[in-house]
Amino acid sequence: MKRNCLSLITILLFAYAAAFSQTTVTLNTSAAKTTINKNIYGHFAEHLGHCIYDGFYVGDTSKNIPNTDGVRNDIVDALKKLKIPNLRWPGGCFADTYHWKDGIGPKDKRPTMVNKWWGGVTEDNSFGTHDFLNMCELLGAEPYLSGNVGSGTVQELADWVQYTNFAGKSPMSDLRKQNGREQPWKVKFWGIGNEAWGCGGNMKPEYYADEYRKYTTFISDWENTGGLTRIASGASDADYNWTETLMKNIPGNMLGGVAMHHYSVIEWNHKSSATKFTEEQYFATMKSALNMEELVTKHAAIMDKYDPQKKIALVVDEWGGWYDVEPNTNPGFLYQQNTMRDAMIAGVTLNIFNNHADRVRIACLAQCVNVLQAVILTDKEKMVLTPTYHVMEMYNVHQAATMIPVTVKTNDYTLGTEKLPAVSVSASKDAAGKTHISLVNIDTKNTQTITVNVEGAQYSSVTGRILTSSKLQNYNSFDEPNKITPAAFNGASLKANTLSVKLPPFSVVVLELN
């Protein structure tokens, strides 16, 4: 009897704790000093499936789709609204097979090639250097060119830099002018190969470090534009030895950044459908997404040993969810739908990047249009903005703002015996003095009641926007493109500088405090 009473009391205590437990967040505004580099909100466009062809680029003869020199105007407008800061091109794995000279000059004279990594399709090189760099000008985005180290030469990459960046008289600037472009584009971001440990050449880190040193010796700043940012091909996920070897063997003054790739994937040989997934599959995807925190922390700690002043950026130039391709699509084209699960990945990942703004200074979501965790999907003249697009648009208030360190004590999101932190948060103060807090609740069932204490600042009003939907598996389709869009959020109230927030299940909220 006594034992029964005790277990009843224990159950009641747990039930009470579950019903009333709160997540507490503290904003340490007086410790705010690091700028969130706008470039962590960057994107990636590879010659893969319909990212470029029938995505960004419909060709200048397209009659049905309004375009500027072949680039869709609706995509340009949408990405400008997103404040896209940079765009990485032409790959990915494609970059180490790409010879840029095949993509300049009269389009009907350009040689073809076979896109060996992505579907074995014939690439006609009709979208090349001019098309991409002019498109970046339209977008107001910094181009990030990935050089071919795997199957190219040092001379070829040095020539590309001279072609794009040199204003004076030289063989490559003459060629550029002959092809119709007088002024150089002044490209700052240069990737020296991609995934050199894999599709970029299956190299060992010591060998790649030497290759990198050789390439960067000749990839110089033709224009004195303030210096090129030369970025080393980085580790896959937790390959800390890769980062350590590069940091040890490459002089700091040759390194602008070290890359790292991490995809939110359940298992490479056992992924899930993009739209028809179970809660177990959602949980596993979020576990992988949240692992970005550990990866960034550990890679950054290695970089700290060699670069305590944090001059070299950690560049997460490929991230996002990776699922099975949509039924009846080419498996080599990596076309997948985008649900509220993707919104959750985007929200927690961008919070991690914001919170590590001291080291993570460039990042690129994979990929921008029609591939993997895209922000835009197209079908002929139709275009859809995905839930991921909306998260990136809501979060763009953090670009170039000062990061406010946050301390978060959160409830868990539990499934069976496993648990994950339910709430993820980041905050910043912009140049106009407004504070923005982005909050994500990944829990599928429980609303999170959050108390936000603000130290070192006074606020008198709060407004906000929310992205959520009735089902985690919901998405924006070509027939229902506005099923998921941001709405005004009324779940936050401010009393005596303490903010109370009720965050519904699987939702992303961005608050503005004045």
Query: Least separation, in Å, of the C-beta of 365 and ligand AHR?
Result: 10
Query: Least separation, in Å, of the C-beta of 92 and ligand AHR?
Result: 3
Residue number with CB closer to ligand AHR (221 or 237): 237
Q: Which residues pair with 498 in a beta bridge?
A: 453, 495
Query: Least separation, in Å, of the C-beta of 269 and ligand AHR?
Result: 15
Q: Which residues pair with 53 in a beta bridge?
A: 57
Query: Least separation, in Å, of the C-beta of 492 and ligand AHR?
Result: 37
381 is known as an active-site residue: no
Distance CA 53, CA 331 (A): 17
Distance CA 139, CA 79 (A): 7
Give me the helices (H) in 226-278, please. 240-249
Candidate list 123, 142, 211, 318, residue with the active-site label: 318
Distance CA 243, CA 253 (A): 16
Q: Can you tell me which of 55, 85, 92, 143 binds ligand AHR, judged by CB under 6 A?
A: 92
Residue number with CB closer to ligand AHR (267 or 479): 267
SS3 at position 254? helix
Query: Least separation, in Å, of the C-beta of 391 and ligand AHR?
Result: 19
Query: Least separation, in Å, of the C-beta of 505 and ligand AHR?
Result: 30
Q: Which stretch binds ligand AHR (CB under 6 A): 91-99, 178-186, 423-431, 449-457?
A: 91-99
Residue number with CB closer to ligand AHR (93 or 484): 93
Site for ligand AHR in 348-377 (CB under 6 A): 366-367, 372
Query: Least separation, in Å, of the C-beta of 144 and ligand AHR?
Result: 13
Q: Taking a C-beta distance cutoff of 8 angstroms, is the pair 401, 38 a contact? A: no
Query: Least separation, in Å, of the C-beta of 254 and ligand AHR?
Result: 22
Distance CA 148, CA 191 (A): 9
Residue number with CB closer to ligand AHR (185 or 335): 335
Using CB atoms, what's the residue nearest to ligand AHR?
92
Candidate list 123, 195, 211, 223, residue with the active-site label: 195
Distance CA 495, CA 498 (A): 5
Residues 6+ apart with CB under 8 A from 324: 271, 272, 273, 274, 336
279 is known as an active-site residue: no
Q: Which stretch binds ligand AHR (CB under 6 A): 90-98, 211-219, 411-419, 448-456?
A: 90-98
Residue number with CB closer to ligand AHR (289 or 406): 289
Distance CA 135, CA 116 (A): 25
Residue number with CB closer to ligand AHR (92 or 421): 92
Smallest CA-to-CA distance from 87 within 20, 38, 126 is with 38
Look at strands 423-429 and 487-488 and give their pairing. unpaired
Provide the mask over 39-68, with x wherever binding to ligand AHR is found by CB under 6 A and - wherever it is not: -------x----------------------
Query: Least separation, in Å, of the C-beta of 469 and ligand AHR?
Result: 26
Residue number with CB closer to ligand AHR (45 or 439): 45
Largest CA distance in the chain: 95
Site for ligand AHR in 231-250 (CB under 6 A): none
Site for ligand AHR in 247-276 (CB under 6 A): none
Q: Taking a C-beta distance cutoff of 8 angstroms, is the pair 14, 6 a contact? A: no
Q: Taking a C-beta distance cutoff of 8 angstroms, is the pair 508, 388 a contact? A: no
Site for ligand AHR in 175-194 (CB under 6 A): 194
Distance CA 251, CA 404 (A): 32
SS3 at position 495? strand
Locate 82 and state its tokens. 């997103």
Residue number with CB closer to ligand AHR (91 or 464): 91
CB burial class (10 A; 0-12, 13-18, 19+) of residue 240?
Answer: middle
Distance CA 283, CA 501 (A): 24
Distance CA 322, CA 288 (A): 11
Regarding 91 and contact with ligand AHR (CB under 6 A), the answer is: yes
Provide the mask over 372-411, with x wherever binding to ligand AHR is found by CB under 6 A and - wherever it is not: x---------------------------------------
Distance CA 376, CA 415 (A): 32
Three-state DSSP string of 300-365: HHHHHHHCCCCCCEEEEEEEEECCCCCCCCCHHHCCCCCEHHHHHHHHHHHHHHHHCCCCEEEEEE
Smallest CA-to-CA distance from 229 within 309, 155, 146, 303 is with 146
Smallest CA-to-CA distance from 402 within 39, 28, 36 is with 36
Site for ligand AHR in 429-488 (CB under 6 A): none
Q: Can you tell me which of 54, 123, 318, 342 binds ligand AHR, judged by CB under 6 A?
A: 318
Q: Which stretch binds ligand AHR (CB under 6 A): 85-93, 249-257, 292-300, 416-424?
A: 85-93
Total site size for ligand AHR, rule CB under 6 A:
10
Distance CA 109, CA 90 (A): 20
Residue number with CB closer to ligand AHR (70 or 191): 191
Distance CA 93, CA 154 (A): 18
Residue number with CB closer to ligand AHR (366 or 440): 366
Q: Taking a C-beta distance cutoff of 8 angstroms, is the pair 356, 426 a contact? A: no
Query: Least separation, in Å, of the C-beta of 364 and ligand AHR?
Result: 10
Active site residues: 195, 318
* Contact positions vs ligand AHR (CB under 6 A): 46, 91-93, 194-195, 318, 366-367, 372
